[in-house]
């Protein structure tokens, strides 16, 4: 069953999600929610979805970056973003243990800010500890685009949207991103926009 993805302005998107107990993680309701979130994510399509985005104020997110999503990007763009396929997996009660001091800036969108994107700085690499759907502790060291996805979804669990971190002058509709900025490097996007007078 596909779930409704709530949009910016929904109160639940700005709340701190609560942690799940082991009993809750192993329960039928959580297993069903994970399956519904997987279907919703793939239908969107997207690379990550947090439970607050579908009306559940709990620390659970699903991530999957399928190879088919990379077809519109050049080999150079994939390399620049350090973007590789990421298999479907579940994050429960995640914590960022370490963030790289170096950051990267790329356009980023969100299923709960439908139709828009902006340049967002994110740590180049992160180490994340979480529980999987079997309540087993996992740790991942992620770089590039996968690290960006993890940071984006963990932000959702703290009531933070990418628009809180974006370079505001880069905010654009997806149609204009495709029309004007799709093949332009992030540094060039910033340079062009910074040439214009600030208000």
Residues paired with 140 in a beta bridge: 128
Cβ–Cβ under 8 Å, residues 41 and 153: no
- Domain extent listing, the chain: 11-194
pLDDT digits (tens, 9 = 90+) for 8-24: 999 999 999 999 999 99
pLDDT of residue 184: 87
pLDDT of residue 189: 86
Q: Is 76 a catalytic residue?
A: no
Q: Which of the four CATH numbers 1.10.645.10, 3.30.930.10, 3.40.50.1220, 3.90.45.10 does domain 11-194 have?
A: 3.90.45.10
Cβ–Cβ under 8 Å, residues 157 and 61: yes
Q: Spell out the residues 6+ positions from residue 135 whose beta carbon is closer than 8 angstroms to its own.
A: 22, 25, 26, 92
The catalytic position among 35, 129, 153, 195 is 153
Single pTM value for the model: 0.95
- Helix (H) or strand (E) holding 150, with range, is helix 144-157
pLDDT digits (tens, 9 = 90+) for 181-199: 988 888 888 888 876 655 5
Query: Which stretch of 46-50, 145-149, 181-185 has the lowest confidence by average pLDDT?
Result: 181-185
């Amino acid at each position: 069953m596909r779930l409704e993805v709530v949009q910016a302005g929904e109160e639940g998107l700005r709340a701190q999600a609560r942690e799940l107990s082991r009993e809750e993680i192993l329960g039928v309701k959580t297993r069903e929610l994970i399956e519904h979130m997987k279907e919703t994510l793939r239908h969107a399509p997207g690379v990550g979805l947090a439970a607050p985005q579908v009306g559940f104020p709990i620390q659970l997110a699903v991530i999957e970056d399928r190879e088919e999503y990379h077809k519109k990007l050049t080999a150079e763009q994939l390399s620049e973003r350090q973007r590789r396929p990421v298999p479907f997996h579940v994050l429960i009660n995640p914590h960022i243990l370490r963030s790289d001091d170096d950051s990267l800036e790329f356009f980023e969108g969100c299923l709960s800010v439908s139709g828009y994107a902006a340049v967002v700085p994110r740590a180049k690499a992160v180490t994340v500890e979480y529980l999987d759907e079997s309540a087993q502790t996992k740790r991942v060291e992620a770089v590039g685009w996968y690290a960006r996805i993890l940071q984006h979804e963990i932000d959702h669990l703290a009531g933070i949207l990418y628009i809180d971190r974006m370079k505001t002058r880069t905010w654009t509709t997806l149609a204009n991103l495709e029309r004007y900025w799709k093949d332009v490097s992030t540094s060039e996007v910033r340079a062009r926009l910074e040439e214009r007078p600030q208000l």
